[in-house]
A and B are shown apart, each in its own frame.
Chain A
Amino acid sequence: MIATAVSHYPKLGDGPGEQALRLAIGRVDRGEAGPEEIERAAEAMTAAAIKEQEAAGLDLVTDGQIRWQDPITYAATRLQGLEIGGLLRWFESNTYFRQPRPSPGIELAWTGPILREDLEFARRHATRPVKAVLTGPYTIGTLSDPSHLGHRRFVLELARALNQELRSLAEARPEWIQVDEPAIVNNPSVRYERDFSLFRDAMAVLTEGVDAPLSLYTYHGDVADVPKLLELPFRLFGFDFVQGPANWDLLREWPQEKGLGLGIVDARNVRLEEIGSLVEQVGRAVALTGEGLIHVSPSCGLEFLPRETARRKLELVARATHAQGVTV
């Protein structure tokens, strides 16, 4: 059993040195420093995010997505053929993302590695395995303005472009490559059009020929009504059991060969869970899925929380995982 994070980690804290990135961005915005100062601060804060995940007891870490403005634009600005527009609310949260749309007359294309350097940097600073995490084509496409391309064609073109990114990442032999697709969740506050056959087609295009362990994560709701979800070409499926308690239904007929991402620590609220309740939930998941591969985690990325709370949530994840005495 593995303790892990889902994606992002706070970029700033109240402690000494923890404001380095914010201060650097402020200085660059005011013309008092060059962009290399942001780069140095991002490196320092990424190293700190990894160190804190390890200190909390995680077995598998992320780079904390310290360089990411939001879950959409980091990849979108590094693909050819996308323009970035105005701010929109990220699901029902009090955070925002900038909405991409295809540029007229420019082909949407992958022109070079997006996450490879970040992955290598994180590995140099980590003592534990690192997973690469990217937002998937269905979520980017659904939260974008598809403009003249239309939703289906836009999502599939994104899937083709990001397939090259996954192939490039796979060459680096990461422990895991995680694809985040929160836009498929069954959350009543989400009014985005959902299309399950498009989602399946996009996942097939995205993963074709990618030689690496792949995981699919969703959060902010449940996916219990997504037909044949567990037949998609991923080795592990991660769910949010806090905002999506109906996800427990997915465990009733769990395929032995698939791993489970068990997001049981609330990454959207500061209240600290009782360790006993978490241990009980991990035990229930083991009983239902038959002691296969389980990655215990928060319910989603941790940037919704103040840094000190994020640390303590990860400690809870690690304690609940390792209390089981089960190793896989």
Chain B
Amino acid sequence: MSRESLLTTSVGSLPKPDYLVRARAARARGGITQHDLDELARQATREWIALQEQIGIDVLVDGEQYRGDMVAYFAENLDGMAISGLVRSYGNRYYKKPIAVGPIRRPQPITVAWWEFAQSLTERPVKGMLTGPYTICDWSFDDHFGSRREMVMALAEVVRQEAADLEAAGARYIQIDEPAVSTRLDELELAVEAMGIVTSGLRAHTTTHMCYGRFEEVYPRLLDIPVDEIDLEMTNSGLDLLERFREHPFTKDIGFGVIDVHSHRIPPVEEVKGHIYRALEYLAPEQVYIDPDCGLKTRTVEEARRMLETVQQARDEVRAELASGKVPSPV
């Protein structure tokens, strides 16, 4: 459990400023060098770290300014993974889906240098951000393994290596995102086993983020996932799950999403405080991290800033109210 109550954080991705979006398009056309693009990604990272500090967020993220897709980024940096032709997701949106084409190996650390750069900019902890083996498998084609289990286990080993390197570099928080788990809850045991490989031996605080799930169907089995904290999209889909916590207490730390990020609406601070107080009916304050529901990369820079400010202000007011005894003590 965390030592301080109601720490604020965010789920991972943050929107890319316009200059970086344009630079990424130019890079895709061969118009600028990778070195120049990386320099702009560092500039955007500096801006986001500074903004999170200014808002007062407790546990920071680098905003993934150097990544495109959360699965393709890892696939591009692993031996044994290739990228397919275009596949449609919806409407006129297409993406290049990764393919497992051979034994999967990590030739060198993937995210560690970016994490070190972000951490060098602040005294506050910056989370190491990884995509979990189950999600990389589920969102890729398989032209090599022939079994989902084998592919997930092979990916678990390379994600484990990356997590260990992040910890060795000094990361105190490591998040391993598994949004795909919610699409096939019948494979939860496989995801649990793979996560066990990734987090085995880590001393850092480990988190996994999930979204879009009917998690009430697999609660309390969800608590089997071997991490210190599970971050859930509570406002968009999970407040119903709270009722289940009365029967089966949530035994880990929880990342409690308090703003629906799929909407352009910035909720009033009072509404967000209401979600925090709902959480405290079931959870101890030391157990709860407060954040938006999901990554913010689909919002505008301005929307993301206002959402983070709203989260922080709601947390600060709730903390003050609890300290002054204005509200009844939580559980």
> Which residues from chain A sit less than 8 Å from chain B, CB to CB?
10-14, 22, 25-26, 29, 69-70, 87, 89, 92, 94-97, 188-189, 191, 269-272, 303-309
Contacts and interface: CB of A to CB of B under 8 A. Distances in A.
Contact of A303 (B88, B97, B184): B88
A172 B142 CA distance: 42
Chain B CB within 10 Å — which of A13, A270, A304, A306 has the most?
A270
A304 B90 CA distance: 11
B91 A69 contact: yes
Contact of B183 (A87, A92, A97, A309): A92
Given A307-B85, A309-B85, A70 B90 contact: yes
A162 B84 CA distance: 38
Contact of B92 (A14, A25, A70): A25
Contacts of B90: 69-70, 87, 95-97
Chain A CB within 10 Å — which of B85, B94, B97 has the most?
B85
Contact of A270 (B99, B183, B214): B99
Interface in B38-85: 84-85
A14 B94 CA distance: 12
Given A189-B183, A304-B87, A308-B85, A270 B212 contact: no
Given A96-B90, A271-B143, A191 B85 contact: no
B217 interface: yes
Contact of B87 (A22, A89, A92, A305): A305
Contact of B141 (A92, A269, A303): A269
B185 interface: yes
A89 B212 contact: yes
A26 B84 CA distance: 22
Interface of B: 84-92, 94, 97, 99, 139, 141-143, 146, 183-186, 212, 214, 217
22 contacts: A14-B85, A14-B86, A22-B92, A22-B94, A25-B92, A69-B90, A87-B90, A89-B183, A92-B183, A94-B139, A96-B89, A96-B90, A188-B184, A269-B143, A270-B84, A270-B142, A271-B141, A271-B143, A306-B84, A306-B87, A307-B86, A309-B84
Given A269-B142, A271-B142, A12 B214 contact: no
A91 to B, nearest CB: 8
Contacts of A269: 141-143
A96 B90 CA distance: 6
Contact of B217 (A89, A94, A191): A191
A275 B90 CA distance: 32
A245 B220 CA distance: 31
A106 B97 CA distance: 42
Contacts of A191: 214, 217
A191 B183 CA distance: 10
A305 B94 CA distance: 11
Contacts of B142: 269-271
B86 A12 contact: yes
Nearest to A270: B141
A258 B142 CA distance: 35
A7 to B, nearest CB: 14
Contacts of B139: 94
A12 B94 CA distance: 9
Contacts of A270: 84, 99, 141-143
A287 to B, nearest CB: 26
A13 B183 contact: no
Contacts of B214: 191
B85 A306 contact: yes
Chain A CB within 10 Å — which of B139, B141, B143 has the most?
B141
Contact of A189 (B84, B99, B185): B185
B284 to A, nearest CB: 31
Top 5 A-B residue pairs of the complex, sorted by shortest distance between their CB atoms: A306-B85, A188-B186, A96-B90, A270-B141, A189-B184
A13 B184 contact: no
A307 B87 CA distance: 8
Given A11-B88, A97-B90, A305-B87, 5 more contacts: A94-B89, A94-B139, A96-B89, A270-B142, A304-B87
Nearest to A271: B143
Contacts of B186: 188-189
A272 B141 CA distance: 11
Nearest to A187: B186
A29 B141 CA distance: 31
A266 B233 CA distance: 33
Contacts of B94: 12, 22
Contacts of B91: 69
Nearest to A97: B90
B85 A13 contact: yes
Given A29-B92, A189-B185, A191-B217, A271 B85 contact: no
Nearest to A92: B183
Nearest to A306: B85
Nearest to B185: A189
A3 B86 CA distance: 26
Contacts of A271: 141-143, 146
Chain B CB within 10 Å — which of A89, A92, A304 has the most?
A92
Contacts of B85: 13-14, 306-309
Contacts of A87: 90
A229 to B, nearest CB: 23
Contacts of B184: 92, 188-189
Contacts of B217: 191
A26 B92 contact: yes
A306 B92 contact: no
Contacts of B89: 94-96
Chain A CB within 10 Å — which of B89, B92, B139 has the most?
B92
Nearest to A12: B86
A25 B91 CA distance: 9
Contacts of B212: 89
A328 to B, nearest CB: 33
A319 B86 CA distance: 26
A11 B97 CA distance: 16
